[in-house]
């Protein structure tokens, strides 16, 4: 019987895979059989070691994703080095914290560029290549709890992640008929660089943990199952969905 979660022979393009959630996702996809192209500014040395130890091919594509300028070059490099792209995981993201009264245009633009603008145009570039070759593929966007909630002191992050959910649904509507699945994962509170300030704040840390039924911060490996599901044949009839991986945060 064929395993619907098997990613053998597939190539996954994962942005922001050098640490944190992106690394957890890249390793999980490799464990399911996929080769990995990692995109970002910093060399993903540890991610590469973990992926290649599984016997998978790995390519690092150096690019700064705060503008859409390198987008087509990223797609071309992945196809040249690993033979194609079957899965796109839009994980790269950034965050700026400041009171809304003091939030600057730079705080706004820096976050929206990475979290939303490049996500859209990279999805567009990959989808164009799939349509041109008359084939489908899988796109997994990384949303957030702040796709559903307002948050505090993160105006551009909240705006971007709310928009990621909307864009995911829009692209699903337009591309489902072309054999392209576009879905999203909404991570809860995970122990990553982006949440270090929250975890170091004893009051905020305690309040967050009190709200999570699972009683702990998420580990990047906790995203693996959701990422493999949305990247595999097991999700072929899933379009425009958002899968919270949040320890029960939204249920609370």
Q: Which residues lie closer than 8 Å to 92 by C-beta, 6 or more apart?
A: 15, 16, 22, 39, 40, 65, 114, 115, 118, 119
* Distance, first Cα to last Cα, the chain: 39
Active site residue 157: yes
Q: Strand 11-15's sheet: what is its strand order?
A: 58-62, 35-40, 11-15, 87-90, 137-142, 180-187, 242-245
- Catalytic: which of 60, 120, 130, 157? 157
Backbone angles phi, psi at 38, to 5 degrees: -105, 130
Catalytic positions, written as ranges: 157
């Amino acid at each position: 019987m064929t395993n619907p979660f098997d990613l053998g022979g597939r190539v996954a393009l994962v942005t922001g895979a050098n640490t944190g959630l992106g690394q957890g996702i890249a390793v999980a996809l490799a464990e399911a059989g996929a080769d990995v192209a990692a995109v970002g500014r910093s060399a993903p040395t540890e991610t590469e070691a973990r992926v290649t130890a599984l016997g998978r091919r790995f390519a690092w594509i150096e690019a700064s994703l705060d503008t859409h300028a390198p987008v087509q070059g990223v797609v071309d490099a992945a196809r040249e080095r690993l033979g194609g792209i079957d899965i796109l995981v839009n994980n790269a993201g950034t965050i700026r914290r400041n009171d809304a009264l003091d939030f600057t245009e730079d705080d706004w633009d820096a976050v929206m560029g990475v979290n939303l603008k490049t996500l859209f145009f990279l999805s567009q570039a990959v989808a164009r290549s799939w349509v041109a070759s008359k084939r489908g593929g899988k796109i997994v966007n990384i949303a957030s709890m702040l796709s559903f909630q307002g948050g505090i002191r993160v105006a551009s992050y909240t705006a971007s992640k709310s928009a990621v959910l909307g864009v995911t649904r829009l692209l699903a509507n337009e591309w489902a008929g072309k054999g392209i699945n576009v879905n999203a994962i909404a991570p809860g509170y995970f122990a990553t660089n982006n949440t270090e300030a929250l975890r170091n704040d004893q009051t905020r840390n305690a309040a967050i943990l009190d709200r999570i039924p699972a009683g702990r911060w998420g580990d990047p490996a906790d995203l693996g199952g959701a990422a493999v599901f949305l990247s595999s044949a097991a999700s072929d009839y899933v379009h425009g969905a958002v899968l919270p991986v949040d320890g029960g945060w939204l249920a609370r």
